[in-house]
Amino acid sequence: MNRTFVSLPLLSLVAVIVTGFVMAALLSQGVVSRADEVVSAADTSAVDSVSREYGIVTDGYDIVRGTVEPGQNLSSLLQGCGLSAADVHAIGLKAEGTFDARRIRSGQGYAVFYTRDSVPAARYFVYEETPRTYVVFDLGGGFGVSRGTNPVEWRQMSARCRVESSLWVAMDEAGASPLLAVTLSHIFGWSVDFFGLQRGDEFRVIYEQEYVDGAALDNFRVLAASFAGGDTAIYAIPFVQDGEQLYYNTDGNSLEGAFLKAPLDFYRITSRFTNSRFHPVLRRYRAHHGVDYAAPAGTPVYAIGDGTVTAKAFQAGGAGNYVKIRHNSVYTTTYMHLSRFAKGLKVGSRVRQKEVIGYVGSTGLSTGPHLDFRVYENGKPINPLLIKSQPKRPIAGDNRAAFAAVCDSLVAALRGVE
């Protein structure tokens, strides 16, 4: 299990197995990155002998770096640089529309540029907002505030991971970031049970990883991937159709599973996904990580997709009668306040999409008949109204030739990953 670092564009990886026509198809599909997609603020500095950091010429300055501590804010940081309260106020006014000073967070880095005078003075304060972006505060007379972007590079790599204990460990042993496994779970989540991987199961992946100033970030673009386990072999081939890039198997069918748009036919949305909703029973604000559908008591409630029932119970002070379904290794749904359950439904039952699992009621903490419907992605609540619902159509006939060219080249490239 190892990882191959590729410093040249993906052309160097697949040129030995694909023709110029196929590479043109890959470029047109966005599978292969063009060199001009990587934009770096340091491009011009390559031919410039002047040293710069954050776009600032460093000659004549000493740079002191630090990390924002808990309890610190922009005012305390700037006053620590020797600025007066009046100057800090002026800078805060200049920052309006460019940076919200309240967004200073502990743990983020900063740098202060000091002059090399007999009495050093702070000339620039730079706050590292994210690994990619920073904010420059000019501490000179103008008190200007501007944003900048660090040089970004997408490096192309490949990895072959054979599972011995877990995919997480296999990724690490292959030299790839274990968090790449999360990206793969989103791609293969409808085809592979990531909670049931067996020893000897294998993933191969060609991907790009984002780097900023030479430091790796856990952001990935999967250019192609495959899974092999037992007698099963599944490929994930990216292809753009109808303006949307999805992953398809070698037959041209989308790997993305299907969800119904709603878990019942007759409904009216009375409450949406929010982090602050006034609860009608508790009479206070709290998060509501679901969608409430008002419907007559007894209205059938459907499973929005195929899955396994993992919970069927009653919670007096909250959900009332509820059912929880695990659809795959990524998505779980919960259906709450049911009046009763479908006959024969039990924990461990396999259910099909649009199979009745219960009926609308007002059990638990409820003021009237409705369904509280919730969706979880990798254990975290997400907005049910934003989940992709309808199945994507397979590769259209007029796209078959282009898809076949891309598919053949990437399958061959994956087979060559060591």
Q: pLDDT by residue (tens digit) across 221-273?
A: 999 999 999 888 999 999 999 898 999 999 999 988 778 878 887 666 766 54
Q: What is the pLDDT of residue 20?
A: 41
Q: What is the pLDDT of residue 49?
A: 67
Burial of 187 (0-12, 13-18, 19+ CB in 10 A): buried
Q: What is the pLDDT of residue 288?
A: 61
Residue found by looking up tokens 């040293």 in the block: 51
Q: What is the pLDDT of residue 280?
A: 54
In angstroms, rounded to a whole number, what is the distance separating the alpha carbons of residues 329 and 146? 43
Contacts of 141 (CB under 8 A, 6+ apart): none
Sequence length of the chain is 418
Q: Can you list the residues of the chain whose pLDDT is less than 50?
A: 1-25, 33-47, 273, 276-279, 282, 285-286
Contacts of 254 (CB under 8 A, 6+ apart): 246, 247, 248, 391, 392, 393, 394
Q: What is the pLDDT of residue 270?
A: 63
pTM greater than 0.75: no
Structure tokens at 366: 């409820």
Q: What is the pLDDT of residue 156?
A: 96
Alpha carbon separation from 16 to 23, 32, 208 (Å, rounded): 11, 15, 20
Q: What is the pLDDT of residue 284?
A: 52
Q: What is the pLDDT of residue 409?
A: 97
